[in-house]
Amino acid sequence: MQSLAMIENWPVPTAAAAVVTSDGTLLGTHGPTAHRFPLASVTKPLAAYAALVAYEEGAVELDEPAGPEGSTVRHLLAHTSGLAFDEHRVTAPAGTRRLYSNAGFEVLGDHIAKATEIPFPEYVRQAVLEPLGMTSTALGGSPAKDGVSTVDDLVRFAAEVQAPRLLDPRTVLEAQTVVHPGLKGVLPGYGHQNPNDWGLGFEIRDSKSPHWTGLSSSPATFGHFGQSGTFLWIDPTAGAACVALTDRAFGPWAAEVWTPFTDAVLAELGTSGR
């Protein structure tokens, strides 16, 4: 895909990108796709997927208590537990506000580790990374932000989410469906959003503006971006997913280049008849 070459003009030392369709076809890659990049918050979808494996295995229930009083596994996955951004401090009753929380994902990891009697980074490896052949991916610490991976590996994950083998498709559909609709909140880097919709570990685009995806991205688009200059989006309407990883921290540069890049990718998908 010619649109992927746009990453050559990004003001970053290193960048790699790829597009994969819902049937697992790799439409194109650009850059060093085997290079290992810090994922920052693109770690969260991997952690969430492992949490959903734990749910399907019967180790946890989505609506069992976890985290602060009144909070559940579902609340932690959907950033509605009431925990603060980077502190294990309660700032709102569970289910009342969309408070994006690294702390919430850390509590989630601890909860699953206790339930499974397996350290959460090892559980992610066994439940998600190893079955998908993601041999260059690792979770070194916080399930909120300490993953390292490659475009090659994340393409495997993006293909899995579009056509699940590790999970029941109904579970993945629930993960990309809004939890607690209508809640306001801040989308980091993009300000207040009303509503600030989220699924189970995946951010949902809906009508958010501004946003890190494209102006032409469908409202059903879901995924995540990271403060290390990384993103993964899946657009069910386009029938494809895109991964882009860089080694420059998120900032105004990303807001300027990511949206036209995504629009160019989607336009090229349209001209290819998808």
Residue positions counted in the chain: 274
Structure-token match 């579009």, residue found:
162
Instruction: Give the containing element (helix H, strand E) for 183.
Output: none
How many C-beta atoms lie closer than 10 Å to residue 105's C-beta? Answer: 27
Q: How far, in Å, CA of 254 to CA of 251, rounded?
A: 6
Residue 56 near residue 171 (C-beta atoms within 8 A)? yes
Which of 111, 97, 130 minimizes the C-alpha distance to 48? 111
How many domains in the chain?
1
- Tell me the CATH number at 14: 3.40.710.10
Cβ atoms 158, 241 nearer than 8 A: yes
Range of the domain at 199: 2-271
What stretches of 90-146 adopt beta strand conformation (E)? 138-139
Task: Give residue 272's pLDDT.
Answer: 45
Mean pLDDT (whole number) for 192-219: 97
Q: Dihedral sign, CA of 257, 2, 204, 76?
A: negative
CB 59 within 8 A of CB 159: no
Q: For residue 271, what pLDDT is reported?
A: 54
Percent of the chain residues past pLDDT 90, beyond the cut = 96
pLDDT given for residue 66 in this prediction: 98
Q: What is the pLDDT of residues 99-125, one digit of tens each?
A: 999 999 999 999 999 999 999 999 999
CA atoms 53, 58, 60, 61: torsion sign: positive
pTM listed for this prediction: 0.97
Contact (Cβ atoms closer than 8 angstroms) between residue 203 and residue 175 = no
Question: Which pLDDT value is given to residue 186?
Answer: 94
Tokens of 138: 């690792």
Whether the per-residue pLDDT at 199 is higher than 80: the answer is yes
AA identity, residue 76: L
pLDDT at residue 274 in the model = 39
Which tens digit of pLDDT belongs to each residue from 142-186? Answer: 999 999 999 999 999 999 999 999 999 999 999 999 999 999 999
Q: What pLDDT digit, counting tens, does each position of 5-51 carry?
A: 999 999 999 999 999 998 899 999 999 999 999 999 999 999 999 99
Calpha distance 73→61 (Å, rounded): 7
Answer whether residue 196 shows pLDDT above 80: yes
Q: Which residues contact 56 (CB under 8 A, 6 or more apart)?
A: 167, 168, 171
Mean of the per-residue pLDDT values for the chain? 96
Averaged pLDDT, 254-268: 97
